[in-house]
C-alpha cells in the first residue's frame, strides 16, 4: 500500500476583519490507497475545510497537498478542473444534483465535461445506476425521488468516471438511520471493488464503524488517529 | 466538453426559464425589427431615388458633348476633337463597358405619300444592346446591319401629305415596320416648291431603309428619331454634302441640325455615349472625361445630390433603431445576470464535477447567443411583416422627388436579403457581447462560495 494523499504541515487561515481564524492549523496526514478515512470532529473544528483543501476546492495558506504525484495546491483552476475530471469524485450532504436533468443525465454529466460521446457516457451511467439499484429511476428528475434515491444518484455520479479518490462531505447527514447504513454499505462496496480511496467527513459516530481509519480533528489540529477495521467493505457486510 | 453537448445544455437551461427567455427574446425581436425597419426605410428612399432618376435616363450612361473644342482644359491642355480614337480611349477606361459616338443627321423621311423631317442617330451597331434602347416590337440593331433601322414610336408624327391642300398628317395606325420607308437628303423632296425657290439641278432617288424594330416610349431622344448604324449615316451625310454642293450650297431648305454633326474621322463627333459597368464607377469615369475637357452628364449627379440631402434623415432613422437594440441588449445582459444569481450553486456543482472555466463561459455565452439568434430571426420576420404593411398602406417618409410623377413600384420600406442576414447576424453578435460580462462572472464564481449558497 502506498500513500495516495499526503498533507504536509497545511495551514488555512481566514481573515475576518482584523481577526485571523486558523481553520486548519498545521496538519500533516498521509492517507493510503484503498483506505476509507473518516474525518470526525465537532462543528467548527476545521474538518470540512480540510476536506475542501484535499479536494482542491480551496487553497492552503501554507503547506503542500499531494494527490498521487500531483501537488494540487500548485494547480490553477483549469488544471484543477481537469484533475478533478480524471481523479476525483464528490458526494455532498445535499446531493447537489442538477434539478432539470434526469438521474441518467446527472450521472453522465461529469463524463460530458470530459468529452465522452453521448452513447458511451449513457452506457457508463446506466451501469452505475444499476449498481446503486436505480435501474427503474433513470428517467426521473431529482424532485421525483426520495432523499435516499437522490443520494444514490449522487453516489453513482461520483463513481462514474472511475476516480482514484472519492470525497464525501456529510454524505448521510440528511438521511435516516436505515438509509445511512445502506448508503455506507453501497459506497464502501463500490470503492472496495474498484480499489478506490474514500475520504469522508461526518459527525455521526456510526459511520466510523465503516472506516479503516478515523481522524479526530479539533480546533484545526489532529487530536487523535484511530485505526478502524481491516477494510470498510467487510465491516459493513 | 463536446460542442454539441454545450449547445444542448444551453438550450436546456433556456427552456427551463421559459417565460423569462421568451420575454427577453421578444425584446431582442423588437430591437432587431426596429433596426431593420429603420434601415429599410432609408434603403427604400435611395431605391426610390434611383428608380425615379432612372426614368430621367439611363443611370449607367454618360452623355459626352464636345462643346469646348479648341479651348483649353483647366490644366492648360488643348481640348481635342471627339474622334473615333478618343471614343475608343473612353471605352478602355476602368469600369467602362463600351462607348459609341452619336451622329445626328436630319433627313427627309418618305413613307408612301407622306413626307417629314426626321433625325437619324448613327451609332455603333455593336453598342445597340448596351444603350438599353427599349425596343417594343421587332429587334434591335446588330453588327451586320447596314441599311436597317430602329424607329422611334413618335417619328411618324412628323409625317404629312405635302400634296394635300390642307394639313394632312399621317394616320395614327401607320405601321412603319410594314410600310416601305425611304429617306432622302433632298430636304425639299416631294414638297411643292414655293415661289422663288430655285429648283434643284439634280434629282435624287430616295434610299430605302429597312425598319427592323420600334422603340417604345423611352422618354429620351430615341422617341422621335431613327437609329441606324454609324457607317450608313456617315454615307448619308457624304451624299447630303455632295447634293448640297451640287445645288449651290444649301439649295434645299435645311431644317434641323444636319450641320451640327460632323463625319468623325478628323473633325470629331459632337456627342458620344459612354456606358459604365456599375453605378459606383459612373462618377469616376465622368471625372476622367471632364478632365479631358469634354462636358459629361449623367442622371447620377441628381441622385448623388438627393442622397446627400436625405443622409441626415437616414442617420436619425438608424439611430432610433440602434437605440432600440441597445435597450434589448441590456435586457439580455440583465436576464443572464439574473440566471447566474439563480444558478450560483449549480455553477459551483458543475465546477466541482469537472467543468472547466471555458465550458462555463461557453454555456453562458451560448445561452445569450441563442436568445440573439431566435430574437434576430423572429425580428427579421416581424420586419418583413412591418415592411409589407408599410408598403401596402404606402406610408411615405420622403424619397419622392416632388416634381416627378409618382413612379411605379415606389416603396416605403425595402428589405434586401443582405439586410435580413445583417439584422439576424447583428442581433447574434450583439447578444454574444451582452453575454460576455455575465459569462465572465459565472466563470469566476468561487466554488466554495457557490456551494455554500442555499
Query: Is residue A228 in a domain?
Result: yes
pLDDT band at residue A13 using 50, 70 and 90 as cut-offs? very high
Query: Is residue A123 in a domain?
Result: yes
pLDDT over 70 (residue B258): no
- pLDDT tens digits for B163-208? 887 888 888 888 888 888 888 887 777 776 666 666 666 677 788 8
Q: For B342, which DSSP code?
A: H
pTM of the model: 0.68
Percent of all residues in chain A with a pLDDT value above 70, rounded to a whole number: 96
Give residue B261's pLDDT. Answer: 42
A204 part of contact set with chain B, CB < 8 Å: no
Q: Is B299 exposed, middle or buried (0-12, 13-18, 19+ CB in 10 A)?
A: buried
A161 part of contact set with chain B, CB < 8 Å: yes
- pLDDT tens digits for B422-443? 999 999 998 898 889 889 988 8
Task: Please compute the mean of the pLDDT values over residues B278-301 and round it to a whole number.
Answer: 83
Specify the pairing of strand A3-16 against strand A62-67. Answer: antiparallel
The most confident of A222-226, B78-82, B377-381, B385-389, by mean pLDDT:
B377-381
Query: Is residue A26 in a domain?
Result: no
- pLDDT tens digits for A50-109? 999 998 888 999 999 999 989 999 999 889 888 988 899 999 888 899 888 899 999 999
Give the range of the structural domain holding residue A38, as residue numbers without chain letter: 33-61+76-236
Q: Which 3-state string (H, E, C) describes B281-295?
A: HHHHHHHHHHHCCCE
B71 versus B234: which is more confidently predicted?
Answer: B234
Query: Is residue A219 in a domain?
Result: yes
A110 and B353 within 8 Å at the Cβ level: the answer is yes
Domain count across chain A: 1
C-alpha dist (Å) from residue B174 to A177, B105, B149, B164: 112, 23, 17, 18
| CATH number (domain holding residue A173) | 3.40.50.300
Query: Is residue A25 in a domain?
Result: no
Average pLDDT, chain A: 88
Percent of all residues in chain B with a pLDDT value above 90, rounded to a whole number: 9
pLDDT over 80 (residue A22): yes
pLDDT over 90 (residue B328): no
Probe site for chain A from B352, B367, B440 (most A CB atoms < 10 A)? B352
B356 and A115 within 8 Å at the Cβ level: the answer is no
Query: Is residue A128 in a domain?
Result: yes
Size of interface A-B (CB pairs under 8 A): 59
Query: Is residue A200 in a domain?
Result: yes
What is the distance between the alpha carbons of residues B290 and B73, in angstroms, rounded to a whole number? 9
Cβ-defined contacts of B359-363 (< 8 Å, 24+): B359/A113, B359/B1, B359/B6, B360/B439, B360/B442, B360/B443, B361/B439, B361/B440, B361/B442, B361/B443, B362/B1, B362/B6, B362/B439, B363/B6, B363/B9, B363/B10, B363/B13, B363/B442
Percent of all residues in chain B with a pLDDT value above 70, rounded to a whole number: 86
Domain boundaries, chain B: 3-56+311-452, 61-298
Query: Is residue A89 in a domain?
Result: yes
- Give the one of B345, B354, B451 whose C-beta lies nearest to A84's C-beta: B354
- pLDDT tens digits for B128-164? 887 878 888 888 888 888 888 888 888 888 888 888 8
ipTM of the shown complex: 0.87
- Of B56-70, B303-317, B383-397, minimum mean pLDDT range: B56-70
Amino acid at each position: 500500500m502506498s500513500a495516495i494523499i499526503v498533507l504536509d504541515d497545511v495551514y488555512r487561515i481566514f481573515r475576518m476583519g482584523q481577526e485571523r481564524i486558523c481553520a486548519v492549523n498545521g496538519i500533516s496526514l498521509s492517507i493510503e490507497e484503498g483506505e476509507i478515512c473518516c474525518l470526525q470532529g465537532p462543528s467548527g473544528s476545521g474538518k470540512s475545510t480540510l476536506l475542501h483543501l484535499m479536494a482542491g476546492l480551496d487553497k492552503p495558506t501554507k503547506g503542500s497537498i499531494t494527490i498521487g504525484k500531483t501537488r494540487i495546491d500548485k494547480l490553477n483552476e483549469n488544471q484543477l478542473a481537469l484533475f478533478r475530471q480524471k481523479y476525483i469524485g464528490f458526494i455532498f450532504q445535499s446531493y447537489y444534483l442538477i434539478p432539470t436533468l434526469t438521474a441518467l443525465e446527472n450521472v453522465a454529466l461529469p463524463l460530458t465535461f470530459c468529452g465522452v460521446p453521448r452513447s458511451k457516457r449513457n452506457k457508463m451511467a446506466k451501469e452505475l445506476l444499476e449498481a446503486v439499484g436505480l435501474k427503474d429511476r433513470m428517467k426521473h428528475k431529482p424532485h421525483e425521488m426520495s432523499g435516499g434515491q437522490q443520494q444514490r444518484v449522487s453516489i453513482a455520479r461520483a463513481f462514474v468516471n472511475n476516480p482514484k479518490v472519492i470525497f464525501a462531505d456529510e454524505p448521510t447527514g440528511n438521511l435516516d438511520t436505515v438509509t445511512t447504513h445502506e448508503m455506507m454499505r453501497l459506497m464502501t462496496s463500490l470503492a472496495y471493488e474498484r480499489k478506490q480511496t474514500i475520504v469522508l467527513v461526518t459527525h455521526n459516530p456510526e459511520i466510523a464503524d465503516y472506516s479503516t481509519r478515523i481522524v479526530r480533528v479539533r480546533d484545526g489540529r489532529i487530536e487523535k488517529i484511530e485505526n478502524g477495521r481491516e477494510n470498510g467493505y467487510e465491516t459493513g457486510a | 466538453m463536446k460542442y454539441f453537448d454545450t449547445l444542448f445544455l444551453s438550450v436546456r437551461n433556456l427552456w427551463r426559464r421559459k417565460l423569462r427567455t421568451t420575454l427577453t427574446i421578444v425584446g431582442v425581436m423588437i430591437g432587431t425589427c426596429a433596426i431593420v425597419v429603420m434601415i429599410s426605410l432609408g434603403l427604400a428612399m435611395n431605391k426610390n431615388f434611383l428608380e425615379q432618376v432612372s426614368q430621367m435616363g439611363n443611370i449607367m450612361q454618360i452623355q459626352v458633348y464636345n462643346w469646348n473644342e479648341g479651348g483649353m482644359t483647366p490644366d492648360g491642355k488643348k481640348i481635342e476633337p471627339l474622334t473615333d480614337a478618343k471614343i475608343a480611349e473612353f471605352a478602355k477606361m476602368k469600369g467602362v463597358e463600351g462607348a459609341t459616338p452619336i451622329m445626328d443627321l436630319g433627313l427627309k423621311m418618305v413613307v408612301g405619300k407622306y413626307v417629314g423631317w426626321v433625325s437619324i442617330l448613327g451609332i455603333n451597331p455593336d453598342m445597340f444592346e448596351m444603350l438599353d434602347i427599349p425596343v417594343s416590337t421587332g429587334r434591335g440593331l446588330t453588327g451586320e446591319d447596314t441599311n436597317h433601322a430602329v424607329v422611334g414610336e413618335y417619328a411618324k408624327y412628323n409625317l404629312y401629305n405635302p400634296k394635300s391642300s390642307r394639313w394632312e398628317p399621317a394616320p395614327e395606325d401607320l405601321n412603319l415596320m410594314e410600310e416601305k420607308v425611304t429617306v432622302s437628303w433632298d430636304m425639299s423632296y416631294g414638297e411643292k416648291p414655293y415661289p422663288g425657290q430655285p429648283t434643284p439641278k439634280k434629282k435624287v432617288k430616295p434610299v430605302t431603309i429597312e425598319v427592323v424594330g420600334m422603340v417604345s416610349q423611352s422618354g429620351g431622344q430615341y422617341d422621335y428619331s431613327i437609329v441606324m448604324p454609324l457607317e450608313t449615316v456617315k454615307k448619308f451625310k457624304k451624299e447630303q454634302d455632295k447634293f448640297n454642293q451640287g445645288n449651290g450650297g444649301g439649295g434645299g431648305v435645311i431644317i434641323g441640325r444636319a450641320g451640327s454633326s460632323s463625319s468623325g474621322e478628323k473633325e470629331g463627333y459632337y456627342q458620344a455615349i459612354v456606358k459604365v459597368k456599375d453605378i459606383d464607377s459612373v462618377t469616376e469615369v465622368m471625372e476622367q472625361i471632364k478632365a479631358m475637357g469634354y462636358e459629361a452628364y449623367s442622371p447620377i449627379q441628381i441622385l448623388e445630390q438627393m442622397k446627400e440631402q436625405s443622409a441626415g434623415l437616414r442617420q436619425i432613422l438608424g439611430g432610433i433603431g440602434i437605440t432600440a437594440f441597445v435597450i434589448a441588449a441590456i435586457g439580455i445582459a440583465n436576464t443572464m445576470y439574473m440566471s447566474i444569481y439563480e444558478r450560483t450553486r449549480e455553477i459551483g456543482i458543475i465546477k466541482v464535477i469537472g467543468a472547466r472555466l471555458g465550458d462555463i463561459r461557453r454555456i453562458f455565452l451560448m445561452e445569450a447567443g441563442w436568445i440573439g439568434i431566435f430574437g434576430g430571426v423572429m425580428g427579421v420576420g416581424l420586419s418583413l411583416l412591418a415592411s409589407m404593411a408599410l408598403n401596402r398602406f404606402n406610408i411615405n417618409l420622403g424619397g419622392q422627388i416632388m416634381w416627378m410623377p409618382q413612379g411605379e413600384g415606389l416603396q416605403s420600406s425595402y428589405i434586401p436579403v443582405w439586410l435580413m442576414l445583417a439584422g439576424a447576424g447583428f442581433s447574434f453578435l450583439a447578444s454574444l457581447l451582452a453575454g460576455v460580462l455575465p459569462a465572465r462572472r459565472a466563470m469566476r464564481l468561487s466554488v466554495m462560495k457557490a456551494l455554500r449558497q442555499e
